[in-house]
Amino acid sequence: MQQPAPAIVESTPEVPEGAFPLSAAQRGIWFAQHIAGDVPFSIAQYIELIGPLDVGLLESAARQAGREFGTGYLRLIEIDGQPYQFVDTDLDDRLVVLDFRGEPDPDAAAHAWMRSEYSAPLHLTADRLVCVRVLRLSEDRWFWYSRIHHIVLDGMGAMSMIQRTGELYSAALAGREPPAAKAEDLRGIIAADLAYRGSDRFAADREYWLEHLHGAADPVSLAGRAADVDAHPARVAGELTQATSELLESVAKA
């Protein structure tokens, strides 16, 4: 006698405590990064510092700014194909100093290191999404380098966190209380985004832009084709004539 097939019990994977969804913008980066493969969607920058630097104070300031924003300690996990994020303050946050003073050309060596670091492939759920380093070029000259994956912060957010770090460092160096933090709680930002996405206002905004852009021409491009994704895009610089500059400015205003 044939036994009946066992019943299939479907279960929903449990989301760890403290984890929360990605915003709509973050999910866009999540999918784009999977399409781009080994080319990281990262924001990298450095600030040249001249003069004495208290590395310990800078480390403390970077740690506090990262915790205020939350994004300095952000980790991603994937559950049943869905991405989630959480703030993990146990991540290694030591500020490593790289000494290039012994190199024949400290500037060239430092730039080569930075190019290699920000273009290295990143695994969204396994690698550190934020990297901060101090590169020493001479006795009183430094590069303060930071690399942040775009899923963590956009360009404005990255600059805001750097500015907050500088603000905290300056206050500590002067022995005074820093201004109050202005960063919003990450969970509150995500909750507001999700609430908007399910609101009547979102539906109305969507209808407005669908109607407003109906029949619009294709975007204008300087190239006639699409290029492969590259961490080091070609860059060409040149000087525009005064007449061309004025024409572009008038078109932009219009």
CA dist., res. 111 & res. 115, Å (int): 6
Cβ atoms within 10 Å of 193's Cβ, excluding its own: 15
How much is the pLDDT for 221? 84
Domain ranges of the chain: 20-194
How much is the pLDDT for 2? 53
Q: Both tokens of residue 103?
A: 């190199």
Please state which of the four CATH numbers 3.90.1150.10, 3.30.559.10, 3.40.50.970, 3.40.50.20 is assigned to the domain occupying 20-194. 3.30.559.10
CA dist., res. 162 & res. 80, Å (int): 35
Positions in the chain short of pLDDT 70: 1-13
How much is the pLDDT for 11? 45
How much is the pLDDT for 145? 97
Q: Give the pairing of strands 20-21 and 96-99.
A: unpaired
How distant is the alpha carbon of residue 141 from its chain centre?
A: 26
How much is the pLDDT for 228? 79
Residue 175: left (phi > 0), alpha (psi -120 to 50), or beta?
left
How much is the pLDDT for 227? 77
How much is the pLDDT for 4? 54
**Sheet-wide strand order for 74-79:** 20-21, 82-87, 74-79
Q: How many CA atoms lie within 13 A of 125 on its CB side?
A: 10
Q: Which single residue is written with the structure tokens 């001249």?
A: 50
Contact predicate 71/25, CB 8 Å: no
Question: Which residues sit opposite 97 in a β-bridge?
Answer: 134
Cα-based distances in Å from 250 to 220, 241, 244, 254: 18, 14, 10, 6
